Structure 1
Amino acid sequence: MTDIATSAATLAAATSALPDKPDLKPARPFFSSGPCAKPPGWHADGLATASLGRSHRSKIGKSRIVHAMELTKRILGIPDTHVLGIVPASDTGAVEMALWSMLGARPATMMAWESFGEGWVTDVVKQLKIDAKVVKAGYGEIPDLAATDWSTDVVFTWNGTTSGVRVPNGDWIADDRAGLSICDATSGVFAADLPWDKLDVTTFSWQKVLGGEGGHGVLVLGPRAIERLESYQPAWPLPKIFRMTKGGKFNASIFKGDTINTPSMLAVEDVIWSLEWALGQGGLSALIERADANARALDAWVEKTPWIEHLAVDPATRSNTSVCLKFAPSAVEGLDEEAQLALVKKIASLLEAEDAAYDVAGYRDAPPGLRVWCGATVETADIEALGPWLDWAFHAARG
């Protein structure tokens, strides 16, 4: 009985030492880095439904696909020199289409500073067996962009979703490049003003800054990429969903609404809703400002919180969407990596149980820490309300 009483007293003392729960919760506790939060005001009943249950090749089906494509080009300011198509398998499918169809014509440079960039390295070096130069930087860092060899085809991510590190701009991309610039922009597009004249291939998905559904990719090709498709035939066979030529010529129909395979018309209607919402906000500049405001609000909390730090070292290359955080060394002293990962899991579980924040654990391959999506579909007031909850959850889990 004495042992039970002692244990109860110890538990009561520990519980009383925990910080109080904050009074205010985020109104929309959706902070996942993909699929991301729906835009404010989104509701399923607001979606157009006339295309549902219809063929994507019917007049209405194709018209809605083309409408989504045209809205995307309009908001992003994609020039008439470039074409845009909806392709299978999310951003991954779009990147793979470019890698398998275009690489091999000349030497390649693969740049990686987070897990998805590492994935493209694996595909090119181990699957396609291209003798590529691999340029890497650790989580939180970025390679020396100025040293990039533009006599080669260069593959890079604009924004590292799992590291929170992005390229600061497109100034480092050579105007007189001999190789292609192939950019995975999935967590950066709609939150950055991309230099389309410097990007020969750009890929992204609907599930990031637009808060769309997963499963569909977007592929944007400039004239140099189209020329590569018509002048170069890879040595390896191409699956049907990767083929962008027909009879040796660029298959322009894919980029006019004739999708390679059947898209989800529900996902198409969903992204149209988001695109129209984006236009109503003021277009690209407004989306960038929303993301920047969210990132500033989270940074303000980080700056005054001793147990957490940004994973991205340099503020100039710090993401304004997938903001990745790591524990301050003093906050996890004595905890090995496995224990720190358990701490992350506990923090995320506590927050989800309180409906205060969903999906804020860092990426599984990244250093232990948190990841908070700050893209345009998140409200700044919710980021401001999140900080105290993160603080509560850390001390509750650590205590």
Structure 2
Amino acid sequence: MSEQFFPKPQHKPERPFFSSGPCAKRPGWSLDALGGALLGRSHRAPEGRARLAEVIDRSRSVLGVPEGWRVGIVPASDTGAVEMILWALAGERGLDVLSFESFSGEWARDLRDILKIDDLRIFEAVYGELPDLAAVDWSRDVVLTWNGTTSGVCVPDGRMIPADRDGLVICDATSAAFAMDLPWDKLDVVTWSWQKALGGEAAHGMVALSPRAAERLAHADQRPLPKIFRLANRKGLIEAIFAGDTINTPSMLCVEDALDGLRWAAAIGGLSALKARSRANLATVAAWVARTDWIEFLASDIRTRSSTSICLKIVAPWFLTLSADDQARAASRIAGLVAAEGAGFDLGSYRDAPPGLRIWGGATVETQDIERLLPWLDWAQVETRREFAA
């Protein structure tokens, strides 16, 4: 159809929620799902501890966390989980860190500028690409983000990580967990949050420790840390954290929401079903990109394209002639027009990423909703072109 006339699409997504965090709730969710929340009770009461332990156990089961690993609930979402691990473990041996989008870049800067790790190597890549994984020395500790939420680039697999390695692999997996294969035998610390792939509420993170990581943490020299970030003390690892005895007071309403998402995940078939739903969402976007001349994936390599944080760049000739500021305004306008129609919310790229669009494609998003969203993006692009040509 000619861009001179592009009518508004007739159908809208039933659930037009495409934020990359907090993400869409699972299909069929309503506030009734939280009716059994343990409100007005202590999280340290037997019933409170039981529900926190259930979150741990169900997370372990759905993700396939190996026997012998410790899993705990920690404050401050995935960011808190990553930073408490870095502050506790970084610096005992040489450290390599991969930096290829906003959050992995934050970890690199913290290690360099705040913790001031002496023996630190930072491997950087521009948005849309991964650093050279072959350059990483796995005899050192390694910090990697499995899926770049703000770039749409993910590590394709764990084949480059040796099973027999001297260093620890610290993996920020917050937008990969519950949607991608994580090679647990190649990792030592894995972090994620409730607000990503299962659509839980924010402010709570989770950390999983391999036996090697737990042993290191138990005997590491303790940096001065606020209590809220301590996983160990002079006596060693604080084991109660990994049995549901959280460091600070969690929201039992959020706990109930997390349990609802985990129960849904198990009911539809577990991790394999979650991955299949996310991959179907990516395939739908990929088919649209292939037939659309104004949009492309930000990830240049098909093997590294994320199925959860699907990041797109605008390549229309009219857009590429704009200044950087106008490109940012035009991309924002496309997302804003779709939102104004109630056809899709939170579609703008992350503030530090190149101007473009981002569609969350995790398992809680229905493929049909993405199918209905895409024509609205085509319409909004035409409308924005007209505005900027005027």
Pick the TM interval, shorter chain: over 0.9
Structure 1 residue 334, shift from structure 2 partner: 1.8
Deviations 1:250-306 (A, max 9, x none): 111100010000000000000101111111110000000000000000111111110
Residue segments in structure 1 that go unaligned for 5+ positions in a row = 1-15
> Corresponding residue for 1:133?
121
- 1:226 & 1:179 partners in 2: Cα distance? 13
CA contact (8 A) 1:94 1:217 kept: yes
Alpha-carbon RMSD across the aligned residues, in angstroms, is: 1.2
- Secondary structure, counterpart of 2:154 in structure 1: coil
- Count of residues in Structure 1 that have an aligned counterpart in Structure 2: 383
TM-score normalised by the chain length of structure 1? 0.94
- 1:280 & 1:208 partners in 2: Cα distance? 19
Structure 1 residue 247, shift from structure 2 partner: 2.8
Relative to structure 1, is the Cα distance of residues 18 and 219 closer, same or farther in structure 2, using a 3 angstrom cutoff? same
> Corresponding residue for 2:204?
216
**Which of 331, 334, 346 is the matching residue for 1:344?**
331
- 2:37 & 2:321 partners in 1: Cα distance? 59
Answering whether residue 188 of structure 2 is matched by residue 226 of structure 1, we say no
**Which of 138, 146, 156 is the matching residue for 1:158?**
146
Displaced runs of 4 or more, over 3 A: none
Residue segments in structure 2 that go unaligned for 5+ positions in a row = none
Give the share of equivalent positions with the same residue, in percent.
Answer: 56
- Secondary structure, counterpart of 1:382 in structure 2: helix
Structure 1 residue 144, shift from structure 2 partner: 1.6
> Corresponding residue for 2:308?
321
Answering whether residue 159 of structure 2 is matched by residue 171 of structure 1, we say yes
- 1:54 & 1:169 partners in 2: Cα distance? 43
CA contact (8 A) 2:293 2:316 kept: no
CA contact (8 A) 2:37 2:253 kept: no
> Corresponding residue for 2:193?
205
> Corresponding residue for 2:83?
96
> Corresponding residue for 1:362?
349
- Secondary structure, counterpart of 1:124 in structure 2: helix
Deviations 1:309-352 (A, max 9, x none): 00000010110000000011524132011101101111121111
- 1:321 & 1:393 partners in 2: Cα distance? 23
Structure 1 residue 19, shift from structure 2 partner: 1.5
CA contact (8 A) 2:37 2:252 kept: no
- Secondary structure, counterpart of 1:202 in structure 2: strand
Amino acid at match of 2:211: P
- 1:21 & 1:169 partners in 2: Cα distance? 41
Structure 1 residue 141, shift from structure 2 partner: 0.5
> Corresponding residue for 2:100?
113
> Corresponding residue for 1:4?
none
- 1:343 & 1:248 partners in 2: Cα distance? 56
Equivalences for 1:246-325 in 2 at 5 Å?
246-325=233-312
Greater gyration radius = 1
Deviations 1:193-247 (A, max 9, x none): 211111100000011110000000000000111111122204x311112211233
Structure 1 residue 50, shift from structure 2 partner: 4.7
TM-score normalised by the chain length of structure 2? 0.96
- Secondary structure, counterpart of 2:53 in structure 1: helix
CA contact (8 A) 1:161 1:187 kept: yes
Structure 1 residue 48, shift from structure 2 partner: 3.9
> Corresponding residue for 1:180?
168
Equivalences for 1:3-152 in 2 at 5 Å?
17-131=4-118, 132-152=120-140
- 2:334 & 2:292 partners in 1: Cα distance? 16
**Larger deviation: 45-54 or 179-188?**
45-54
